[in-house]
Chain A
Amino acid sequence: MDNITNFAEQYEKIRTEIAKEMIGQEDVVEHLLLAVVAGGNVLLEGVPGLGKTHLVRVLSKVLDLPFSRIQFTPDLMPADITGTNILVRTEEGSSFRFQKGPLFASIVLADEINRATPKTQAALLEAMQEHSVTVAGETMRLPEPYFVLATQNPVEQEGTYPLPEAQLDRFLFKVLVPFPTLQELGGIMDLTLGAQAQAQAPVEPALKESALKRTALGAEDLLEMRNAARQVPVADSVRESALKLVLATHPETPDAPEIARKYLRFGASPRAAQAILSTARVRALEQGRFNVAYDDIRFVAPACLRHRLALNFAAVTEGREMESIVAELVNDYVK
């Protein structure tokens, strides 16, 4: 019972530690933490320089989890991320030994994931969904907890490869990283360009050693939090509203709302419903509640749905944005 009652406290501890290194972006941090505790992958989308990579690195340090970063480029090959068998010469002779790739870490930062070719992107699928990697017919489990936190730059379209729907579906959340406000920007400047910061490492001033060593809780604690969150009950009416919301995104269904029929090309998969309910449970516990409320559904639903839906030509020509459509659906179906 303690793990349940202490959940909110532990969660707050993580958030507090991250906040020490992140100025602003509370909503991004909140979503990121929800996804991490729920055990899902997150796609962070924002223009360069907003601290996406920094956030992930801070998170890995706060959680004291193995971290690896993969900078995705067009020439990146699957074996570069999964690992490969290499020939090793020993006294007994030559033999092949598997050299683990960067996927073998608990937190994998796939930076600018849309710059890699679909082939390399597809290499992530198994790791993201099954938490395992298969090389040369041999399947290897990845460490738990395991998260892929990918970043994506929406501006640079030249030389990028949009993620296939199947891969997007593997991301629990797609979190939009907004540009900081004036106050937040000022805070960032103080943190990174202040006198104290100048004395630190020149390359990435924000990642001070003192911060990197700060750990809130370990992997076991995180898994315990995840197990606790899975027990949070959901009332039938609340669950039904989440399921109806997911169904409403399907324009082909007879009960689809007008907005879905008019502007959506396809709807969300059942993984969206799973994502909504699992992250809503985490949020309920984080809020000190032992049940999921409609508010939780409303909070997590946009992040769960926005990358799982596709706008049709009418929406593009009329200038409709995914955010407004999802917000309208949420308002209509989650009372």
Chain B
Amino acid sequence: MNELLKALGPVRSRLRLRRFVSGAGWGFAGGALAALILLAVTSFVPLANRWWIAGACVAGGTLLAAAGNALRPVSPLEAARAADACGLRERAVTALELAEAEKSTPAPPDGAGQRLADMILLQRRDACERLQALDARQIRPAFPKRRLLAGALLLALCAATLLLPGGGDRAVAARQALETKTAAMAKAAEEAEKADEAGLTEKEKAELRKLTADLKRDLTASRDEADALVAVDKAEQQLQKLRQEQAQEKTAGDAMSAMDALAQAMQSAGTDAAAADALAEALASGDAAAMSKALSDLGAEDLQKLSESLTGEAKALAEAMARTAQQGELSEARMQALQQAAQSAQSAGSMSAARQATALQQALAGMKASLGAGPSQQSASQASMSGAGAGSGNNPGQSGGGAGTGSTNEEQKGGSGGQKSGGSKGTNPAEFRQTEYETIYDPEKVDVAARDVMTNQQSLGKDSVQIETGPGKGSLEGNVPVSQVVGEYAEQEVKAAESANLTREQKQWVDEYFRKLTEE
């Protein structure tokens, strides 16, 4: 048996070669088919590097099928059949079968059995001799002409997929551009965050880092520019909130320190405590008569001396008071100037806080600009963010006249903004403006999680069409047509406008905006 198997060795090697070629043919055809399917599908479903993947299908399919087919074990029976096909006339197959049969049922030891054993021996010897004399190169790998032709045809069809009007490549290119852009944005945010860290406390740094990390994560996970814009919006909102919190803390602290310094200076100068209290009350109430009286009680000279012992905003306040005391009767305008001086002393801290994280703020603005949101849209976004706070007015230049709780719309780009919009009407051309998305904050949840509904709005001149583009983020139940929420928005706008520190002109503009929106 071993002798026979050994004699079949070269035949098995040739069969492996034949299988390799055959497998390569099948693999080539199969890979080409897979590539064709892939390219046809990805003409409609975007896939990055689809041509490379298709090429890998063909090459990988060919190699894998060839190798897999060649590595498949060649059974002795198969080798024997192949050898017999080379003119051995079933010698090898018969010898193999006899060897296996002999193992299970040896020939009986009688005369017939002896003849059978002799015959088996002769047959095996004959088969082995013939196998050894066999030139295994006769077993030639069949050239897989048909499979190669089929593969070539399929490859031609692959090339023909370029004619399919799917736009998959364009979508992939857009996706890659977005990835590049978001990566650059993430890097810019990181750099801005580092630049902003100087002069911040550890707590502020940590908050800023967390904000930046969230932004980077959201940018990376963005599927399209709309997602990226939402992420930037969200970061901007968080930054604004952070700055407001910091400003409030600093304002309270700095104001307290300025007034405390003035009070301490008065106390150390031996100023009457009752006069000092009356001054503080008059300043707080804005009562000009009470202020005149308190200042006259203190005396201009004493106040001037006090100012010399003070520094910073407290000194400025004391000097203003001294000048007022010298002038005698306090007019309404003078009283307002004095109050502004007190307010400037109070806001000195908040200004320093507002200067913090400006690099990140600028970076976010730059990101929005690069994502296609024009200046007016930025202002709208800014307005919406500050609108959440309903314009508390604590921070000069930031308290926006936003449309109130949960209101953002394309037309709101022209809304009276906060710090950056400055009440401008927007700069986008009026005849054609298109945004990729429109975020409408759910009025019920805006203060909690700021869920939104994704819509697509196209504005052409004065005509505005709003199209639902998918499951709304603002409603757990699904899409929320704008017609269903605009009334509710308008009601909330009225309430917000009433409670916010808005100028009459700003209120009128917002009212007009919602009136038109409701009419539409």
- Which residues from B are CB-within-8-Å of A227? 115
- Partner-contacting stretch, out of A230-238, A248-256, A312-320: A230-238
- Which residues from A are CB-within-8-Å of B93? 235, 237-238
CA distance A236 to B95 in the complex (A): 11
- Which residues from B are CB-within-8-Å of A156? none
Of chain A, the residue at the smallest CB distance from B90 is A293
- Which residues from B are CB-within-8-Å of A292? 90, 94
CA distance A233 to B120 in the complex (A): 8
The one of A5, A228, A289 that contacts B89, using a Cβ cutoff of 8 Å: A289
Distance in Å from the Cβ of A285 to the closest Cβ of chain B?
Answer: 9
Interface centre among A233, A293, A295 (most CB of B within 10 A): A233
CA distance A236 to B77 in the complex (A): 12
Interface centre among A228, A238, A292, A295 (most CB of B within 10 A): A238
Of chain A, the residue at the smallest CB distance from B107 is A231
Distance in Å from the Cβ of A296 to the closest Cβ of chain B?
Answer: 8
The one of A1, A233, A289 that contacts B98, using a Cβ cutoff of 8 Å: A233
Judge whether B116 and A291 touch: CB under 8 Å.
Answer: no
CA distance A227 to B89 in the complex (A): 23
Does residue A290 face the partner (Cβ distance < 8 Å to B)? Answer: yes
Distance in Å from the Cβ of B113 to the closest Cβ of chain A?
Answer: 10
Does residue B118 face the partner (Cβ distance < 8 Å to A)? Answer: yes
Of chain A, the residue at the smallest CB distance from B111 is A227
- Which residues from A are CB-within-8-Å of B97? 233, 235-236
> What does the 1/0 interface line of A275-303 toward B look like (CB < 8 Å)?
00000000000000111111100000000
Distance in Å from the Cβ of A286 to the closest Cβ of chain B?
Answer: 13
Interface residues on B, range: 20 to 34
The one of A235, A289, A294 that contacts B126, using a Cβ cutoff of 8 Å: A289
CA distance A236 to B93 in the complex (A): 9
The one of B81, B112, B115, B123 that contacts A291, using a Cβ cutoff of 8 Å: B123
Does residue B122 face the partner (Cβ distance < 8 Å to A)? Answer: yes
Judge whether B126 and A290 touch: CB under 8 Å.
Answer: yes
Judge whether A4 and B94 touch: CB under 8 Å.
Answer: no
Judge whether A5 and B115 touch: CB under 8 Å.
Answer: no
- Which residues from B are CB-within-8-Å of A293? 89-91
- Which residues from A are CB-within-8-Å of B119? 4, 228, 231-233, 290
> What does the 1/0 interface line of B95-127 toward A look like (CB < 8 Å)?
101100000000000001001101111110011
> What does the 1/0 interface line of A232-275 toward B look like (CB < 8 Å)?
11111110000000000000000000000000000000000000
Judge whether A228 and B126 touch: CB under 8 Å.
Answer: no
Distance in Å from the Cβ of B114 to the closest Cβ of chain A?
Answer: 9
CA distance A237 to B81 in the complex (A): 10
Taking chain B's interface residues, is the majority helix, strand, or loop, or is none over half, making it mixed? Answer: helix
Judge whether B90 and A290 touch: CB under 8 Å.
Answer: no
CA distance A118 to B126 in the complex (A): 49
- Which residues from B are CB-within-8-Å of A236? 97
> What does the 1/0 interface line of A120-135 toward B look like (CB < 8 Å)?
0000000000000000
Judge whether B122 and A5 touch: CB under 8 Å.
Answer: yes
Distance in Å from the Cβ of A98 to the closest Cβ of chain B?
Answer: 34
Q: Contacts A233-B98, A233-B123, A236-B97 given; indicate if A291 touches B118 (C-beta within 8 A).
A: no
CA distance A295 to B122 in the complex (A): 20
- Which residues from A are CB-within-8-Å of B95? 291
The one of B90, B115, B120 that contacts A235, using a Cβ cutoff of 8 Å: B90
Distance in Å from the Cβ of A141 to the closest Cβ of chain B?
Answer: 22
Of chain B, the residue at the smallest CB distance from A2 is B118
Of chain A, the residue at the smallest CB distance from B113 is A231
Of chain A, the residue at the smallest CB distance from B98 is A233
Distance in Å from the Cβ of A132 to the closest Cβ of chain B?
Answer: 23
Q: Contacts A233-B94, A235-B94, A237-B93 given; indicate if A4 touches B122 (C-beta within 8 A).
A: yes
Interface members, chain A 41-55 (any B CB < 8 Å) = none
Q: Contacts A5-B122, A291-B95 given; indicate if A238 touches B90 (C-beta within 8 A).
A: yes
CA distance A236 to B120 in the complex (A): 15
- Which residues from A are CB-within-8-Å of B126? 289-291
Judge whether A228 and B115 touch: CB under 8 Å.
Answer: yes
- Which residues from A are CB-within-8-Å of B89? 289, 291, 293-295
- Which residues from A are CB-within-8-Å of B94? 233-235, 238, 291-292
Of chain A, the residue at the smallest CB distance from B127 is A291
- Which residues from A are CB-within-8-Å of B91? 289-291, 293
Distance in Å from the Cβ of B341 to the closest Cβ of chain A?
Answer: 113
CA distance A1 to B97 in the complex (A): 21
CA distance A289 to B115 in the complex (A): 15
Interface centre among A231, A293, A295 (most CB of B within 10 A): A231
Distance in Å from the Cβ of B110 to the closest Cβ of chain A?
Answer: 12
Of chain B, the residue at the smallest CB distance from A1 is B118
CA distance A228 to B122 in the complex (A): 12
CA distance A124 to B1 in the complex (A): 48
- Which residues from B are CB-within-8-Å of A5? 122
CA distance A4 to B117 in the complex (A): 12
Interface centre among A5, A291, A294 (most CB of B within 10 A): A291
- Which residues from A are CB-within-8-Å of B90? 235, 237-238, 291-294
- Which residues from A are CB-within-8-Å of B112? 231
Interface members, chain B 121-171 (any A CB < 8 Å) = 121-123, 126-127
Distance in Å from the Cβ of A67 to the closest Cβ of chain B?
Answer: 29
CA distance A234 to B95 in the complex (A): 10
Distance in Å from the Cβ of A262 to the closest Cβ of chain B?
Answer: 32
Distance in Å from the Cβ of A274 to the closest Cβ of chain B?
Answer: 18
- Which residues from A are CB-within-8-Å of B121? 1
CA distance A232 to B120 in the complex (A): 8
Distance in Å from the Cβ of A94 to the closest Cβ of chain B?
Answer: 48
Interface centre among B118, B119, B126 (most CB of A within 10 A): B119
Can you report 26 residue pairs joining A to B where beta carbons are below 8 Å apart? A1-B121, A4-B115, A4-B119, A4-B122, A5-B122, A228-B119, A231-B116, A232-B119, A233-B97, A233-B98, A233-B120, A234-B94, A235-B97, A236-B97, A237-B81, A237-B90, A238-B94, A289-B89, A291-B89, A291-B94, A291-B126, A292-B94, A293-B89, A293-B90, A294-B89, A295-B89
What are the 8 A-B residue pairs with the smallest beta carbon separation, nearest first? A290-B123, A291-B94, A293-B89, A231-B119, A235-B94, A1-B118, A293-B90, A235-B93
Q: List B residues at the A interface (Cβ < 8 Å).
A: 81, 89-91, 93-95, 97-98, 112, 115-116, 118-123, 126-127
Q: List A residues at the B interface (Cβ < 8 Å).
A: 1, 4-5, 227-228, 231-238, 289-295
Given A1-B121, A228-B119, 7 more A-B residue pairs with CB atoms under 8 Å apart are A231-B115, A235-B90, A290-B119, A291-B89, A291-B126, A293-B89, A293-B91
